[in-house]
């Protein structure tokens, strides 16, 4: 303490990766809010460009058609963890990007290299502009988007735990069919040629299968605070 004022905490960039249903979004938002950091849901950006493709009648089965228009939509992501907003060409798409139609097509769109290049550039510029630091969640943040992040965390969970959580979020969805959908998405995301879902070599792995959300949040907050203290 000097003159009664605490030294400001150093900015820290936190990358949180992992498959669907591991608690990435809930954890990332809560950690960012608790530590006064910005927050970015990169999956929402891929959902947003997918929504734009669907809305504009682009053939999702044609990578060439997707690549040709990847630079067209203007995607703006808010970074307030308490109210993360996202717009496409000025339209609020926070709700429509969560529909089953978008969910079923996002892997195909996000596998197109031109789409990944466009969205990765957007993500890096947002992270660079976060003065106090940022929590960025996705599937390739620690490996591709922000390989120099101060802290990389990879959340995992058993397929059963993930399906149970996701079907709970989807209110009444069948757990077995949800599990199959998650595993199908895992396979698509892990096998794509451009920036596949993967754990960075220097990431801390946290298995959330048997942990409450609060326990996961506390674990990640501790890891971030340790990293800040070491800076």
Reported pTM: 0.88
Evaluate if residue 2 carries a pLDDT over 50. no
Evaluate if residue 39 carries a pLDDT over 70. yes
Evaluate if residue 12 carries a pLDDT over 70. yes
- Which tens digits make up the pLDDT trace of 146-196? 999 999 999 999 988 888 877 666 666 677 887 888 878 777 777 778 878
Number of C-beta neighbours around residue 78 at 10 A: 17
Q: What is the C-alpha separation between 70 and 73, in angstroms, rounded?
A: 7
In the chain, alpha helices (H) = 24-35, 42-55, 63-69, 100-110, 113-129, 159-169, 175-191, 213-230
Query: pLDDT at position 6, please?
Result: 60
Which domains are present in the chain? 12-225 (3.40.50.300)
Bridge-based pairing of strands 75-77 and 204-207 is: unpaired
């Amino acid at each position: 303490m000097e003159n009664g004022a605490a030294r400001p905490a150093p900015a820290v960039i936190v990358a949180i990766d992992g498959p669907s249903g591991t608690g990435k979004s809930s954890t990332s938002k809560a950690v960012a809010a608790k530590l006064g950091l910005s927050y970015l849901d990169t999956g929402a950006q891929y959902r947003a460009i997918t929504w734009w493709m669907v809305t504009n009648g682009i053939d999702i089965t044609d990578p060439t058609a997707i690549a040709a228009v990847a630079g067209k939509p203007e995607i703006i992501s808010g970074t307030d963890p308490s109210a993360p907003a996202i717009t496409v060409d000025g339209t609020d798409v926070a709700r429509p990007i969560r529909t089953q139609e978008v969910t079923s097509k996002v892997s195909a769109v996000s596998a197109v290299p031109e789409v990944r290049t466009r969205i990765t550039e957007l993500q890096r510029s947002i992270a660079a502009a976060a003065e106090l630091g940022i929590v960025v969640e996705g599937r390739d943040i620690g490996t591709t988007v922000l390989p120099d992040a101060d802290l990389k965390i990879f959340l995992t969970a058993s397929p059963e735990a993930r399906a149970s959580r996701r079907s709970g979020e989807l209110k009444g969805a069948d757990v077995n069919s949800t599990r199959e959908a998650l595993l199908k998405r895992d396979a698509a995301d892990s096998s794509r040629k451009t920036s596949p879902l993967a754990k960075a070599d220097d990431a801390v792995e946290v298995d959330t299968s048997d942990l409450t959300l609060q326990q996961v949040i506390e674990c990640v907050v501790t890891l971030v605070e340790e990293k800040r203290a070491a800076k």
